[in-house]
Amino acid sequence: MHRYILLTLVVIFSLASLSLGVISFEETTMHILVQSRLPRTISILISGMSLATAGAIMQLLTSNRFVTPTTGSTTEWAKLGLLIILIWTPQASVVTKTLFSFAFGFAGTISFLFIIKRIKLKEATLVPLVGIIYGNIIASIATYLGYQHDLIQSIQSWTQGTFALILKGRYEVLYLSIPCLIVAMLYANRFTLISMGREISISLGVRYQATLYVGLLIVSTISALVLVTVGVIPFIGLVVPNMVTLYRGENLEQNITTIALLGGLFLLACDIISRLVLHPFEIPISVTASIIGCLLFILLIVGRRRHAA
């Protein structure tokens, strides 16, 4: 039931997003719609859905509800990969860039999982803290390289994710997230199982390592795709899955469509706000998403505390 409500909301918000722009709707030509507005709305939807799903998967892979690609160093590694390819061949194509940041994100997340398996962390919030320390190390390498090659500006531009530059012909690589989402749905049950630990999942007949790698592949692909086309959009992977699991438990198979739809909705709403607040200027969506996401997350934590008390 709630899924249909969500779906309706997504459709309404998408239409609103399509109708927004510097030029009013009546004057909008088919050309603008196809060249800029449609690509923009589609890429927001895809990014929102896939980032929320990637966050949910990451939380199951690490058995920790505070770990996301951004707090689990995936994003920092992907950024480092992107920076290295830019230094190496500045003219690299979108596909090469994506491949590079994917490879770094994948390897980096594996190393993060290794680290948190090695260190026995007593409290759940220490896991994302270690992730952030680790991410900071990687980020300092990137900043150093940036200083050496005068690329600090481009690093900063990725950190400010924005959909303002999305045009036909520059975003299509994002469609690759859709197969990722489908695989995620097929594997949802297995991700839930491996979140209960290696022993339990093996005794229930799930191939632990293989499932873990499938999850990592999905997470790193999505992170790399969104990073290359849009930039970093923080908090969505943290807030959206946590909101859903707070009310509906952590069974991913039951929640995955809700999480994806809510992710799309969240980002559409952020984008509309970004464009309306300073109209005709536009705020980078990463700023809007951070502000709204932070506030929601703080409410969530405080609410959970009240709830538990």
Chain residues binding other proteins by CB under 8 A are 66, 115, 118-126, 128-130, 132-134, 136-137, 140-141, 143-144, 147-148, 160, 234-235, 278, 281, 283-284, 286-287, 290-291, 294-295, 297-298, 301, 305-306, 308-309
Q: Which is nearer to other proteins, 182 or 295 (CB)?
A: 295
**Nearest distance from C-beta of residue 246 to other proteins, angstroms:** 15
Tokens representing 217 are 């592949």
> Rounded CA gap, 173 and 179, in Å?
12
Residue given tokens 């934590």 in the structure block: 301
Q: Which is nearer to other proteins, 93 or 111 (CB)?
A: 111
Residue given tokens 């449609």 in the structure block: 38
Query: Are residues 220 and 70 in contact, defined by beta-carbon separation less than 8 angstroms?
Result: no
Q: Which is nearer to other proteins, 7 or 297 (CB)?
A: 297
Q: Give Cβ neighbours of residue 151 (< 8 Å, ≥ 6 apart).
A: 83, 86, 87, 145
Tokens representing 201 are 């999942």
Short-list 173, 180, 204, CA closest to 39:
173
Q: Which is nearer to other proteins, 160 or 257 (CB)?
A: 160
**Nearest distance from C-beta of residue 268 to other proteins, angstroms:** 19
Query: Are residues 50 and 223 in contact, defined by beta-carbon separation less than 8 angstroms?
Result: no
Q: Which is nearer to other proteins, 12 or 119 (CB)?
A: 119
**Nearest distance from C-beta of residue 53 to other proteins, angstroms:** 21
**Nearest distance from C-beta of residue 124 to other proteins, angstroms:** 8
Q: Is 162 helix (H, G, I), strand (E, B) or coil?
A: coil
> Rounded CA gap, 82 and 228, in Å?
8
**Nearest distance from C-beta of residue 232 to other proteins, angstroms:** 11
> Rounded CA gap, 105 and 225, in Å?
11
Q: Which is nearer to other proteins, 119 or 167 (CB)?
A: 119
Query: Are residues 193 and 206 in contact, defined by beta-carbon separation less than 8 angstroms?
Result: yes
**Nearest distance from C-beta of residue 237 to other proteins, angstroms:** 13
